[in-house]
């Protein structure tokens, strides 16, 4: 356990950041699942709308370091390909 005031403060900050990061990571997963469920229904309009909501969220989390930038790009690319496959 933390013995000094500075160590206690750092432990408190680390816990606060861990909770914030977990919340944001969960939000990213949720928007990705919403796009995938819209794709699963086969509704192109709903999938496009869900994808448009998900992209800025994914980008923001990549900027903050919650997701690696390549992982964010991979998610966006795969979701976009699946959404466009519905149109065909």
- Could you read off the pLDDT of 26-77 as tens digits, one per residue? 999 999 999 999 999 999 999 999 999 999 999 999 999 999 999 999 999 9
Per-residue pLDDT band for 88 (boundaries 50, 70, 90) equals confident
- CATH homologous superfamily of 5-87: Ribosomal protein S20 (1.20.58.110)
Stated pTM of the model: 0.88
Per-residue pLDDT band for 1 (boundaries 50, 70, 90) equals confident
What does the alpha-carbon distance between residue 14 and residue 68 come to, in Å, rounded to a whole number?
Answer: 20
Spell out the alpha helix ranges (H) of the chain. Answer: 5-41, 44-64, 69-87
Task: Tell me which H or E stretch contains 88.
Answer: none
- The domain limits of the chain are 5-87
Answer yes or no: are the C-beta atoms of 77 and 32 closer than 8 Å: no
């Amino acid at each position: 356990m933390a013995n000094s005031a500075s160590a206690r403060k750092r432990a408190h900050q680390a816990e606060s950041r861990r909770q914030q990061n977990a919340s944001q990571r969960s939000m990213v997963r949720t928007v990705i699942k919403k796009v995938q469920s819209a794709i699963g229904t086969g509704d192109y309009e709903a999938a496009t709308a869900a994808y448009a909501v998900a992209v800025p969220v994914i980008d923001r989390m990549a900027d903050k370091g919650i997701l690696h930038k390549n992982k964010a790009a991979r998610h966006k690319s795969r979701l976009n390909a699946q959404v466009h496959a519905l149109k065909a």
